Amino acid sequence: MVEKKQDQVEEKREAALSAVLEENVQGLPQAVEAVGAALAERYYVRLAEQALPEDRPAEDEALEQAVEAELESLRRSSRTLAQAYQAADNAADELGARLRDMRTARDRKWYAPNPPANAAIDLEEAKQDHFAQGLGLYKILLICIVGSFAGVVVEMLWCLITNGYIESRAGLVYGPFNLLYGAGAALLTLCLYKYRNRGYQLSFAGGFLVGSVLEYVCSWGQEVLLGSRSWDYSQMPLNINGRICFVYSLFWGALGIFWIKDLYPRMAKYILKIPNRAGKVLTWALTAFLIVNAIVSCVAVGRWSGRVEGQPPAGPFWNFVDERFPDERMERIFANMDFGKK
């Protein structure tokens, strides 16, 4: 009996967390209306009299000063109320999202296992003191590596489904890796991690903005540095210089939701299974491989661009590059590369 009463007390205490806030703000609308009515009674007629073109009373500096003081006080109150509203709305959004994620994770289906809740991932990372917990360097590097590989696989499958054939979508000369996808996954994580336990709207907005900026910067940088373009949206509606377009930005927005609510927690769950020491060694080894791969790829694409422009090799090194990365091989790897010269 005593235990039951204690449980009831605990339930009331937990319920009171938001109930106390609700009780405190119940009278706010009436208080604001009362202040508005009092201000109208005190100042409106006097201000109207000061506005008369003729037969108006002598200018009352004290009146203007009093009204200015009231205005400043109202603005401060308005900012405070807006901050309180935003804080309460954020708290409700996060609590609701955490509840939804918990229910989704708990509602497991045999044909499509649901992703773990982000809150559960956070808890498990802290318990294990894992090497790749939170937004640490190891987590971001692993996400970039996996994203670079997974993005190529997904796009090749999409090409197979839509065009009926498999075509390389790699962005590096060695292996099915594309750093655009890896950088996109890392940036999405960095920008959306704070909102991983929030509603879908922020995830969509973040994905929309991050993806659009990333595509534009990468397209511009590739054209400036290498003289080539890997995609061109000039024929798409609402495009900007052919580098980004509204339709694909919408896809990035949807990807933002899918990433932070589904793919990221699944990936983080598997990363948790990697032992700390082995995980650190593996992360640095793969990172070194991708860095070297990216450098070699830039050299190979730069020389390819030179060959397209008719530039002969300027020494033994460039002869070696021409032999190692001839046009046929480069066209096979970078099937959509366009130098604007052919």
pLDDT digits (tens, 9 = 90+) for 33-45: 999 999 999 999 8
Q: How would residue 230 be classed by pLDDT, with cut points 50, 70 and 90?
A: confident
**pTM > 0.75:** no
Mean of pLDDT over the chain: 88
Identify the pLDDT of residue 340.
64
Percent pLDDT > 70 in the chain is 91
Q: How would residue 174 be classed by pLDDT, with cut points 50, 70 and 90?
A: very high
What tokens does 175 get? 């292996």
- How far apart, in whole angstroms, are the C-alpha atoms of residue 64 and residue 274? 70
Q: Which residues contact 99 (CB under 8 A, 6 or more apart)?
A: none
* pLDDT at 112 exceeding the cut of 50: yes
Identify the pLDDT of residue 21.
86
What one-letter code names the amino acid at 145? I
Domain boundaries of the chain, sorted by first residue: 12-106, 128-290
> Which of the two residues, 299 and 199, has the higher pLDDT score?
299
Identify the pLDDT of residue 312.
93
* pLDDT at 342 exceeding the cut of 50: no
What tokens does 196 get? 């991983």
Identify the pLDDT of residue 48.
87
What one-letter code names the amino acid at 333? I
State the average pLDDT over residues 187-208. Answer: 90
From first CA to last CA, the distance across the chain in angstroms is 86
Identify the pLDDT of residue 3.
58
Identify which of 224, 243, 228 has the alpha carbon closest to the alpha carbon of residue 342: 228
Q: What is the pLDDT of residues 50-78, one digit of tens each?
A: 887 666 666 678 888 999 999 999 999 99
Pairing of the two strands 244-245 and 239-240: antiparallel
State the average pLDDT over residues 184-200. Answer: 89
Q: How would residue 225 be classed by pLDDT, with cut points 50, 70 and 90?
A: confident
